[in-house]
Structure formats: structure tokens, C-alpha cells
């Protein structure tokens, strides 16, 4: 398992998309007060810069996380996953577990990359530090659902673009449904994280059956 974890981590860390997403996210967030000043967007009257920027952070997370996950994870799926399992004698479930972990860590890193910008917004708006911590933890809690949805889609489709589009759409729909059924986005994120653990468990439990053999067409 150690070899698989190392390999997935190496593959993920090598992808330029990881650094690109972190830089893009931090840059857009940093440009927000530059563009709108310390009071933020005027039409959002009564909402502090911190609140406005936090909303932007969520939008970026919803858009960027599936794309980042789709770009950084190792590309074996279907028959290639079967071949890798046979070559390494590692069950597909373990390969996918490592992939889920690597994708989640990558997404956590992109959120963490924007942390200095979030802290500066919190300081500028004089918001409680505990609020900042809770909000950032909620964003981090959204990493496992985004990673799980993306890994599911990437495994179920033969095309990377289709997998990303499916993951992006599913992430948006799932996040919207969770937000509608929860009082705050933070609560929705925690609920989604719990659901993603179930979804990941199903994927891992079925992986050794679904990807045991090559498809008959390929063989």
C-alpha cells in the first residue's frame, strides 16, 4: 500500500494543474479587494468584505475542485486499471483508495494555498478568528466530496473531458441540493463530506468486482 500511496502522491504532485489551481484561486481572491476595495461589491450592501470573499471562495472551490481533481489524478481507468492491478498485484480497490486520498490531499492543498488571502480578508473585516477557522474547515470538508465525485466520474467514463464535465455538473448539483437542505453552507459541506465517505466506500467495495477482468472487447 505504501508503494501505491507514494506513486499516487508523486503523480498528483507532478501535475502542473495542481500549482495552477492554487495560484489561480489565491490570485482571484487577492484581486477581489483590489477590484472592489475594503467594502466589497456595493450592491451586496451590509455584507462585509470577508463574507463576500468567502462566497467567491466557495464559487472558486465548486468550479476549480472538480477540474483540479480530474487533471491531477492518475489516468488509469477501466482496462488500464485492470492491467495495473495485474502488474502490481494490488487490488483495484486499493489503487482507487490511494487515488482518492491523493486527490483529496491535492484539493486540500489548493484551499490551503488561499489561506493567507482569507486571513487578510478576516483582518480587514475584523471578523472573529473562530469564524475564519470554521469557514476554512468547511471548505476543506468539501475536498473529499469533490475528489470522490471526480474519481467516480473518471472511472465510469472513457473520456477525460467527459469525466470532468460530469464531475463538475454533479458537484454543482450536489452542492446546491445540500445547501437547500442545510441551514448554512458550512453545514452542507459537512453533510456532503459524510455522504462522500459512503460514496467512496461503495466505489472501493465494488472496485474489485467491476475491474477484476479486462473488458471482453479489449481482450
Partner 1 sequence: MIAISGLTKTFEHRTTLAGVDLSIDRGGSVAVSGADREGRATLMQLLATLVRPTSGTIVIGGLDAVTDVYRVRRLVAYAGPTRILPNRLRVDEYLRFVAGARHQPSAAAGIAADLVGLNRDVPIEALADETRGRLMLAAAIAAGAGVLLLDHPFDNLDAAARDRVCEWLVAARQNGTTIIVSDNEHVAGLCDRNVVLRDGCIVESSANAPLDQAVPRRELVGA
List of residues contacting partner 1 (CB under 8 A):
2-4, 6-7, 10-11, 14-15, 74-76, 79-80, 82-83, 85-91, 208, 212-214, 216, 219
Q: Which is nearer to partner 1, 27 or 75 (CB)?
A: 75
> Residue 213 Cβ, how far from partner 1 at the closest point, in Å?
5
Inter-residue contact 77 to 64 (CB < 8 Å): no
With a CB cutoff of 8 Å and minimum separation 6, the contacts of 86 are none
Inter-residue contact 81 to 94 (CB < 8 Å): no
> Residue 82 Cβ, how far from partner 1 at the closest point, in Å?
6
How many other C-beta atoms lie within 10 A of the C-beta of residue 176? 12
> Residue 16 Cβ, how far from partner 1 at the closest point, in Å?
9
Q: Which is nearer to partner 1, 81 or 109 (CB)?
A: 81
Distance CA 142, CA 46 (A): 27
Instruction: Tell me which residue has cell 466557495.
Output: 58
Q: Which is nearer to partner 1, 162 or 169 (CB)?
A: 162
How many other C-beta atoms lie within 10 A of the C-beta of residue 67? 20
Q: Which is nearer to partner 1, 82 or 174 (CB)?
A: 82
Distance CA 107, CA 140 (A): 8
> Residue 70 Cβ, how far from partner 1 at the closest point, in Å?
14
Instruction: Tell me which residue has cell 483508495.
Output: 97
How many other C-beta atoms lie within 10 A of the C-beta of residue 130? 8
> Residue 6 Cβ, how far from partner 1 at the closest point, in Å?
7
Q: Which is nearer to partner 1, 94 or 179 (CB)?
A: 94
Amino acid at each position: 500500500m505504501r508503494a501505491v500511496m507514494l506513486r499516487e502522491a508523486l503523480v498528483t504532485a507532478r501535475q502542473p494543474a495542481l500549482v495552477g489551481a492554487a495560484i489561480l484561486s489565491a490570485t482571484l481572491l487577492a484581486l477581489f479587494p483590489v477590484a472592489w476595495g475594503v467594502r466589497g461589491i456595493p450592491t451586496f450592501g451590509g455584507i462585509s468584505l470577508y463574507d463576500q470573499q468567502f462566497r467567491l471562495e466557495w464559487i472558486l472551490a465548486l468550479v476549480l475542485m472538480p477540474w483540479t481533481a480530474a487533471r491531477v489524478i492518475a489516468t488509469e481507468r477501466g482496462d488500464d486499471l485492470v492491467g495495473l492491478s495485474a502488474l502490481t498485484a494490488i487490488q483495484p480497490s486499493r489503487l482507487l483508495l490511494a487515488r482518492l486520498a491523493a486527490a483529496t490531499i491535492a484539493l486540500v492543498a489548493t484551499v490551503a494555498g488561499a489561506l493567507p488571502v482569507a486571513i487578510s480578508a478576516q483582518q480587514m473585516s475584523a471578523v472573529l478568528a473562530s469564524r475564519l477557522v470554521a469557514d476554512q474547515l468547511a471548505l476543506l470538508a468539501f475536498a473529499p466530496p469533490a475528489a470522490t465525485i471526480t474519481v467516480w466520474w473518471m472511472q465510469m467514463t472513457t473520456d477525460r473531458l467527459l469525466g470532468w464535465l460530469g464531475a463538475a455538473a454533479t458537484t454543482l448539483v450536489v452542492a446546491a441540493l445540500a445547501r437547500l437542505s442545510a441551514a448554512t453552507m458550512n453545514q452542507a459541506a459537512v453533510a456532503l463530506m459524510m455522504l462522500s465517505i459512503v460514496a467512496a466506500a461503495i466505489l472501493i467495495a465494488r472496485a474489485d468486482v467491476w475491474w477484476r477482468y479486462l473488458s471482453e472487447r479489449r481482450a
